[in-house]
């Protein structure tokens, strides 16, 4: 019970962080058809900017400034580079963001070095929120969940209840008509791209000190958020939310469990020894398999339901 | 219509131009190690040959079928692992000769392509890319999970001189690097020929159709998913051969052979070489080995330079180096190249100045950040720069600014001259067509 509750809370907070990342990616993809390969790099930039700003001032200033800075950078990239490659098609757009992720990684190493930086949780949020049996739940985890849910709610409100959101939704499905009605669709695209990068950066600000701020952090989540987007269904925000929570909870539980096939088979009365066929597979513990679970989920999903959880069209 | 246009066309796979080109290719492969002379150069040639097979197999996906894969190293890497195990089996007495190992690896690649491609090709376009990335991560993580097959951190070693057979009796035991080179050269030649022939087959042509307009191909009656699946399998067969040659060349295989960085490298350099022409990936392979071996010795920040060059290429020359080459050949053909000389010279001259300023900033930043232990002075193109002095930063920035502005001026001139030339060529072509009719 204790393990279950704590793991569930940790899993949900990790899942929400994944959703903050994949929300921006999904928005950009569904709107512009651009898969932003550098999305996780903007997440990393958010963490590093927050570290730098909080060194100079404090965490709360960084919390506001870092996402804005990254959003501006993202918007500038869209205006100057990405828009130029639009005429060459989606492959070129994907390639240009792939190149960008390369450059950002190198620049980050150039400016902040190759070792992790000391980006710490602010003192006000350090410590434990409550104690359940013998385990404590860190305050910062709760803070992460609050920020993620707040972001989710405001994203929903902006998209569904404001005029800007209406224009964005219209530009999503009918760009030509929206343009004919007098809206500057390229500007809306730049705005959405910047917004998506800002969201990724916000995830970096709160994720960077919860986990670790180092040059490898972009690659660590990069592939997983792609899995989230495919499993959730390309371009579906709701699907991305379900997939993020699923993967977050699944991975958190798996890390804590030492189950293996051997244990399961032995409880069924089958004896497994090192001589048994396929022993290397049977002896693996669930905690060892945890890193590949999201990718296994991807494979299973593609075989069973290629359009994803909430996907609408099957390409 | 003239009589010339009415003549029935005959399919002649062995025409004069092709015989000359392919013979020249064979002669070059034969003579390269003679020209190279040093052992290091032969090692470089071996690496380049292997990379050329890998990049060409990658271009079957990207150039021929428009499939942008982030997981090509899965097939080269798994091919290498199967090859290394097969080599150890030969050491244990298997009766197959060592030179067949790349074929074994090729079929292993084909098998993995059939297995993993079944999943990855369920989607086309951007989702395909995302899935290949996920599958690549899956295979790499699994590689660390099964040390029995992948050897864990240390990898698996083998010995290429093992085995027997009549060739062994003649001294062909792959003891020296030169023998390995010729093995690679033979495989390179055969694979290049096979891959070129593949582009001419109906399947190769349909792959182009699927790349250009999948919907239309579907309406004509082709199952586009099946086409993608077949292309992935064919491509992973050649990728596997490259992996098998890697295993023979290094006599070892480690888990980083299947890592995403390697896949990214294939993508990056195949694109830089150019995906539009068959020979583009060969140029890419040369650049790949040059960057990995030579450039990385010159500067620790080499990946930054490669990344920026890549970005510039995607935006300004999406056809890669091979397309730039062909465009200039066209200029020469129409006698337009002479007018380009000065704009080119100006761009190269000021481009190099700007590059120096940029490189100085990057190298100083690197020296100050990463290699601070070894002093603050760094030499950029023989000019020593001190990263701890503000003046050197200002100088570098000024040089970059000056070079950049002058480069931009010359680039505009170049664009103008280039555009005018383009118009004249278009006119010449129109005239030539009018003359035929």
Q: What is the ipTM of this complex?
A: 0.85
**pLDDT number for residue A315:** 44
- Please give the biggest Cα pair distance in chain A: 73
Domain total of chain A: 1
Domain assignment of residue B293, yes or no: yes
Cβ–Cβ below 8 Å for A294 and B134: yes
| B97 and B229 together in one domain | yes
A46 pLDDT band, cuts 50/70/90, is: very high
Task: Answer whether B255 touches A (CB < 8 Å).
Answer: no
Domain assignment of residue A288, yes or no: no
Answering whether pTM is above 0.95, one says no
d(CA B222, CA B54): 28
d(CA B319, CA B328): 13
Domain assignment of residue B3, yes or no: no
d(CA B363, CA B357): 10
Q: Å from A134 to nearest chain B CA? A: 32
Task: Answer whether B135 touches A (CB < 8 Å).
Answer: yes
Domain assignment of residue A26, yes or no: yes
Task: Answer whether B310 touches A (CB < 8 Å).
Answer: yes
| B214 and B258 together in one domain | yes
d(CA B92, CA B95): 9
Domain assignment of residue A82, yes or no: yes
Domain assignment of residue A278, yes or no: no
| B135 and B271 together in one domain | yes
**pLDDT number for residue B166:** 60
Give residue-wise pLDDT tens across range A247-285: 988 888 887 777 776 676 677 666 666 666 667 676 677
CA distances from B258 to A129, A158, B119, B153, B254 (A): 43, 43, 18, 13, 8
Chain A, nearest residue to B115 by Cα: A299
Q: Which CATH number does the domain housing residue A112 bear?
A: 1.10.3470
Domain assignment of residue B2, yes or no: no
Cβ–Cβ below 8 Å for A99 and B307: yes
| B48 and B121 together in one domain | yes
Among B319, B350, B382, which residue terminates a domain?
B319
User: Of A299, A257, A312, A229, whose CA–CA distance to A18 is shortest?
Assistant: A229
Domain assignment of residue B327, yes or no: no
**pLDDT number for residue B1:** 43
| Apex A46 CA angle, A12 and A154, nearest 5 | 55
| B55 and B152 together in one domain | yes
Domain assignment of residue A238, yes or no: yes
What SS3 class is residue B96? Answer: coil
**pLDDT number for residue A58:** 84
Best of B315, B369, B387 to disrupt the A interface (most A CBs within 10 Å) is B315
d(CA B228, CA B119): 11
Contact in structure between A225 and B134 (CB atoms under 8 Å): no
CA distances from B213 to A32, B69, B217 (A): 19, 18, 6
> Residue A79, class by beta-carbon neighbours within 10 Å (0-12 exposed, 13-18 middle, 19+ buried)?
middle
Q: What is the residue range of A201's domain?
A: 2-256
Determine how many CB atoms are found less than 10 A away from the CB of residue B425. 16
d(CA A252, CA B44): 46
Task: Answer whether B137 touches A (CB < 8 Å).
Answer: yes
Q: What is the residue range of B412's domain?
A: 334-436
d(CA B323, CA B276): 7
**pLDDT number for residue A45:** 93
Domain assignment of residue B148, yes or no: yes
Domain assignment of residue A266, yes or no: no
Give residue-wise pLDDT tens across range A163-213: 888 888 888 778 888 888 888 888 888 888 999 999 999 999 988 888 888
d(CA A202, CA A49): 10
Type and span of the H or E element at B377: strand B377-380
**pLDDT number for residue B113:** 95
User: Of B177, B170, B159, whose CA–CA distance to B32 is shortest?
Assistant: B177
Domain assignment of residue A287, yes or no: no
User: Of A21, A312, A10, A28, whose CA–CA distance to A168 is shortest?
Assistant: A28
Under 8 Å CB pairs connecting chains A and B tally to: 130
What DSSP character marks residue B8?
Answer: P
Say which of A100, A284, A295 has its CB closest to residue B137: A295
Mean per-residue pLDDT of chain A: 83
d(CA B331, CA B386): 45
Domain assignment of residue B329, yes or no: no
Give residue-wise pLDDT tens across range A219-229: 888 888 888 98
Say which of A96, A230, A291 has its CB closest to residue B130: A230
Write out the E strands in chain A: 128-132, 135-138
| B365 and B231 together in one domain | no
Show residues of chain B in contact with A292, CB under 8 Å.
Answer: 137-138, 141-142, 145
Q: What is the mean pLDDT of each run of 10 residues along chain B (437 residues)?
A: 57 79 92 86 93 96 92 94 92 82 95 93 85 89 86 85 68 80 94 94 93 90 93 96 94 89 92 91 94 86 90 89 89 82 88 90 81 71 80 89 92 88 87 81
| B232 and B278 together in one domain | yes
> Residue B381, class by beta-carbon neighbours within 10 Å (0-12 exposed, 13-18 middle, 19+ buried)?
exposed
**pLDDT number for residue B169:** 63
d(CA B79, CA B399): 48
**pLDDT number for residue B164:** 66
What SS3 class is residue A260? Answer: strand
Say which of A99, A112, A296 has its CB closest to residue B314: A99
What SS3 class is residue B7? Answer: coil
Give residue-wise pLDDT tens across range A109-119: 888 888 888 88
Chain B, nearest residue to A105 by Cα: B304
Q: Å from A182 to nearest chain B CA? A: 29
Domain total of chain B: 2
Q: Which CATH number does the domain housing residue B72 bear?
A: 1.10.3470
Contact in structure between B56 and B224 (CB atoms under 8 Å): no
Tell me: pLDDT of A312 over 50. yes
């Amino acid at each position: 019970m204790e393990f279950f509750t704590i793991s569930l809370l940790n899993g949900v907070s990790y899942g929400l962080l994944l959703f903050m990342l994949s929300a921006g990616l999904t928005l950009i993809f569904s709107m512009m058809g651009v898969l932003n390969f550098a999305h996780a790099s903007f997440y990393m930039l958010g963490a590093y900017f927050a570290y730098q700003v909080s060194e100079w001032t404090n965490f709360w200033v960084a919390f506001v400034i870092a996402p804005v800075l990254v959003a501006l950078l993202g918007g500038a990239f869209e205006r100057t580079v990405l828009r130029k490659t639009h005429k060459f098609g989606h492959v070129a757009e994907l390639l240009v963001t792939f190149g960008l992720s390369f450059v950002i990684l190198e620049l980050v190493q150039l400016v902040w070095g190759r070792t992790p930086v000391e980006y710490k949780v602010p003192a006000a949020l350090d410590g434990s929120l409550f104690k359940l049996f013998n385990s404590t739940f860190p305050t910062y985890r709760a803070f992460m969940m609050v920020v993620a849910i707040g972001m989710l709610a405001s994203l929903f409100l902006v998209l569904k209840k404001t005029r800007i959101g209406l224009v964005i939704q219209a530009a999503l499905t009918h760009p030509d008509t929206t343009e004919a009605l007098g809206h500057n669709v390229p500007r809306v695209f730049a705005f959405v791209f910047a917004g998506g990068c800002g969201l990724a950066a916000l995830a970096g600000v709160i994720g960077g000190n919860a986990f670790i701020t180092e040059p490898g952090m972009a690659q660590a989540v990069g592939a997983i958020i792609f899995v989230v987007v495919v499993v959730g269904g390309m371009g579906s925000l709701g699907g991305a939310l379900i997939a993020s929570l699923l993967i977050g909870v699944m991975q958190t539980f798996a890390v804590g469990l030492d189950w293996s096939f051997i244990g399961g088979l032995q409880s069924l009365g089958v004896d497994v020894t090192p001589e048994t066929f396929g022993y290397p597979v049977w002896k693996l513990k669930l905690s060892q398999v945890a890193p590949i679970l999201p990718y296994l989920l991807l494979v299973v999903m593609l075989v069973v339901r290629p359009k994803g959880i909430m996907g609408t069209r099957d390409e | 219509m003239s009589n010339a246009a009415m003549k029935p066309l005959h399919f002649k796979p062995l025409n004069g131009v092709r015989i000359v080109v392919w013979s020249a290719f064979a002669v070059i492969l034969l003579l390269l190690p003679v020209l190279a002379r040093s052992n290091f150069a032969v090692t470089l040639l071996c690496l380049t040959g292997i990379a050329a097979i890998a990049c060409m197999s990658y271009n079957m996906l990207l150039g021929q079928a428009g499939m942008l894969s982030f997981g090509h190293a899965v097939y080269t890497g798994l091919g290498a692992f199967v090859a290394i195990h097969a080599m150890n089996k030969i050491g244990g007495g298997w009766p197959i000769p060592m030179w067949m190992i790349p074929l074994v690896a090729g079929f292993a690649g084909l098998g993995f392509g059939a297995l993993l491609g079944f999943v990855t090709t369920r989607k086309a376009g951007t989702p395909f890319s995302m899935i290949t990335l996920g599958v690549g991560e899956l295979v790499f993580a699994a590689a660390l999970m099964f040390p029995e097959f992948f050897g864990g951190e240390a990898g698996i070693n083998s010995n290429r001189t093992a085995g027997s057979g009549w060739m062994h009796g003649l001294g062909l035991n792959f003891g020296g690097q030169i023998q390995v080179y010729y093995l690679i050269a033979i495989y390179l030649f055969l694979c290049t020929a096979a891959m070129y022939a593949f582009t001419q087959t109906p399947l190769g042509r349909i792959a182009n159709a699927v790349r250009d307009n999948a919907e239309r191909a579907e309406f004509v009656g082709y199952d586009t998913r099946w086409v993608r699946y077949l292309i992935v399998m064919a491509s992973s067969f050649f990728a596997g051969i490259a992996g098998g040659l890697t295993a023979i060349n290094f006599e070892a295989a480690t888990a980083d052979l299947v890592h995403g960085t390697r896949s990214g490298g294939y993508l990056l350099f195949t694109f830089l070489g150019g995906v539009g022409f068959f020979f583009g990936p060969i140029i890419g392979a040369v650049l790949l080995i040059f960057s990995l071996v030579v450039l990385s010795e010159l500067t620790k920040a080499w990946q930054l330079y490669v990344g920026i060059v890549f970005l510039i290429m995607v935006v300004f020359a999406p056809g890669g180096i091979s397309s730039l080459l062909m465009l200039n050949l066209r200029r020469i053909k129409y006698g337009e190249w002479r007018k380009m000389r000065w704009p080119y010279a100006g761009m190269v001259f000021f481009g190099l100045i700007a590059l120096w300023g940029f490189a100085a900033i990057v190298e100083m930043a690197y020296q100050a950040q990463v290699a601070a232990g070894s002093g603050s002075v760094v030499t950029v193109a023989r000019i020593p720069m001190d990263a701890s002095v503000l003046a050197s930063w200002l100088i570098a920035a000024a040089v970059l600014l000056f070079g950049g502005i002058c480069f931009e001026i010359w680039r505009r001139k170049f664009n103008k001259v280039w555009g005018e030339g383009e118009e004249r060529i278009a006119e010449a072509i129109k005239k030539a067509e009018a003359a035929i009719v």
